[in-house]
């Protein structure tokens, strides 16, 4: 409450609470004396009208939730459809682009998104990073095992198969991690704008959803709201299925190549 309101509440010597009950709660009047019969009658009349108002509010809220769910499901269906249309493993970056595009259309305001893919038991992975400032097709970058505490926290969340994990870091810890990634790994090949965007953040919050083969993360300056965290997990789950199809295609291509060589 504003300070002046709290001061007013504390300054009162006596409070009389009068309640008119509703189906979903109550309408309360607070005074220093009991309400008159006329005052109580008015309170009850207002309570009845507000109950009708609140019932309409709940109906609207339900309709909005249904519309939002339809929007989310349509976005997931676009991802599934593009996955089913994948005929070559080299098309994976195009599907990664669909993930980024659909999350943005659903109102995600993260500064960037990162998809990590990893083989069983390995501590290295491939990454596809997308920034608001850069609209080119995502490109894969290999990231080796790193002796860094942030890297280890991400791997632990992945090893523990945590569907949703928030990892926060900043200051000197972030600067060291940025420097390691942007000078000692393939991330040094990032476009200059991307490197500048990474270094410009004093504090970073990674919202990560991990499954067996993939991790999908939104990167910003604060954790995602609960509804967006749930959407991120749903996208990660669908992309896990996509990546399984990618591995099957990759295996089939290798077999076909071996047969050609033989």
Cα–Cα distance, 196 to 258 (Å, whole number)? 43
Residue 151 has pLDDT above 70, yes or no: yes
pLDDT in tens, 181-201: 999 999 998 888 888 888 988
- Compute the average pLDDT of residues 143-159: 88
- Compute the average pLDDT of residues 225-237: 93
Element (H, E) at 39: helix 37-84
Confidence at residue 258, expressed as pLDDT on a 0 to 100 scale: 94
Confidence at residue 176, expressed as pLDDT on a 0 to 100 scale: 93
Regarding beta strands 112-117 and 125-131, do their DSSP bridges make them parallel or antiparallel, or are they unpaired? antiparallel
Choose among 181, 208, 206: nearest CA to 195: 181
Q: Residue 146 has what DSSP assignment? A: -
Half-sphere exposure of 25 (CA within 13 A, CB side): 8
Q: How confident is the model at residue 11 (pLDDT cuts 50, 70, 90)?
A: very high
Cα–Cα distance, 40 to 45 (Å, whole number)? 9
- Compute the average pLDDT of residues 202-225: 90
Q: How confident is the model at residue 137 (pLDDT cuts 50, 70, 90)?
A: low
Confidence at residue 134, expressed as pLDDT on a 0 to 100 scale: 61
Cα–Cα distance, 238 to 164 (Å, whole number)? 15
Does the global pTM surpass 0.85? Answer: no
CA distances from 67 to 60, 73, 104 (A): 10, 10, 17
CA distances from 31 to 24, 34, 35, 104, 108 (A): 23, 7, 8, 49, 45
Q: How confident is the model at residue 121 (pLDDT cuts 50, 70, 90)?
A: low
Core vs surface per residue 122-133: b (16+ CB within 10 A) or e: eeebbbbbbbee
pLDDT in tens, 39-65: 999 999 999 999 999 999 999 999 999
Cα–Cα distance, 179 to 13 (Å, whole number)? 61
Confidence at residue 233, expressed as pLDDT on a 0 to 100 scale: 94
């Amino acid at each position: 409450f504003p300070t002046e309101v709290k001061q007013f509440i504390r300054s009162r010597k006596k409070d009389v609470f009068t309640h008119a009950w509703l189906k979903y709660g109550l309408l309360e009047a607070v005074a220093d004396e009991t309400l008159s019969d006329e005052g109580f009658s008015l309170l009850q009349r207002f309570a009845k009208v507000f109950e009708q108002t609140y019932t309409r509010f709940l109906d609207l809220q339900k309709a909005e939730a249904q519309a939002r769910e339809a929007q989310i499901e349509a976005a997931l269906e676009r991802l599934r459809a593009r996955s089913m249309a994948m005929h070559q493993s080299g098309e994976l970056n195009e599907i990664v682009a669909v993930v980024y595009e659909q999350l943005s259309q659903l109102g995600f305001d993260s500064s960037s998104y990162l998809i990590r893919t990893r083989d069983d038991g390995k501590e290295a992975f491939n990454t596809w990073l997308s920034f608001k400032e850069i609209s080119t097709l995502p490109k894969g970058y290999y990231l080796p095992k790193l002796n860094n505490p942030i890297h280890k926290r991400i791997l632990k969340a992945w090893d523990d198969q945590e569907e949703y994990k928030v990892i926060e870091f900043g200051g000197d810890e972030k600067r060291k991690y940025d420097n390691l990634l942007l000078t000692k790994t393939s991330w040094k090949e990032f476009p200059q704008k991307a490197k500048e965007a990474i270094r410009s953040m004093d504090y970073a919050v990674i919202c990560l959803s991990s499954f067996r083969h993939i991790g999908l993360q939104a990167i910003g300056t604060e954790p995602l709201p609960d509804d967006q965290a749930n959407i991120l997990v749903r996208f990660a789950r669908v992309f896990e299925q996509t990546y399984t199809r990618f591995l099957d295609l990759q295996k089939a291509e290798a077999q076909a190549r071996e047969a050609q060589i033989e």
